[in-house]
Amino acid sequence: ELLATTSAIVHCLVRAEDAAAGRARIDEKLRAYDVNLGPDERSRIRVWAGDITQARFGLDERRYAALADEIDIVYHSAGAVNFIQPYSFMKKINVDGLTQILAFAGCRRTKALILLSTISVYSWGHRFTGKAMMTEADDIDQNLPAVLEDIGYTRSKWVMEKMADLAAQHGLPLMTFRLGYATFHGETG
């Protein structure tokens, strides 16, 4: 959508051996989901092989600094979704990964962060709050008793949001989107 509705250059950090392998992964997903990009849209995708859990995403200092100077907005949707693994497993990708994203968002100049999260941060909070409905304005702290009893995924996403909120309190422009279930398009995948 960013490519179709803006003239932005989109930088994609991809877990891959190198940029060519990263581009191949993106191309494979575009084909699998029947997403057709025109030549202009394809030319505005920059692929970087890296890992959000590593310092500087595993990029060399020069490349990291150049990206920190060039990028205006960070869309963070990377992470692990697993309903079996404990928090100790989920923390590396979801929490430690966000730590690196926040460092990048504040590096050299402040970049806005668009964070994709989940409604799971509400957990089974109604058992403790007695509320029949929660809104986006509700403080997720009230759900902590439920979150502490929940699965590692939910706990890691709750911690992520708290970290992002703390960064926002210190000046980071932040928009958090809590998804229900992220699935494919009904016709095109």
| Secondary structure class of 52 (helix, strand, coil) | coil
DSSP-assigned letters across all residues of 63-84: HHHHHHHH--EEEE------SS
Q: Are 143 and 117 in contact (CB under 8 A)?
A: no
Residue tagged 């150049």 (tokens):
66
Our measurement of the distance from residue 107's CA atom to the centroid of its chain's CA atoms, rounded to an integer in Å, reads 17
97-105 helix and 61-70 helix, angle to the nearest 10 degrees: 60
Q: How do the domains of the chain map onto residue ranges?
A: 82-179
Rounded distance between C-alpha atoms, residue 47 and residue 67, angstroms: 12
* DSSP state for residue 141 in the 8-state scheme: G
pLDDT tens, residue order, the chain (189 aa) = 899 999 999 999 999 999 999 999 999 999 998 899 999 999 999 999 999 999 999 999 999 999 999 999 999 999 899 899 999 999 999 999 999 999 999 999 999 999 998 888 888 878 888 888 888 788 888 888 888 889 899 999 999 999 999 999 999 999 999 888 666 667 766
- Helix (H) / strand (E) element for 10: namely strand 10-14
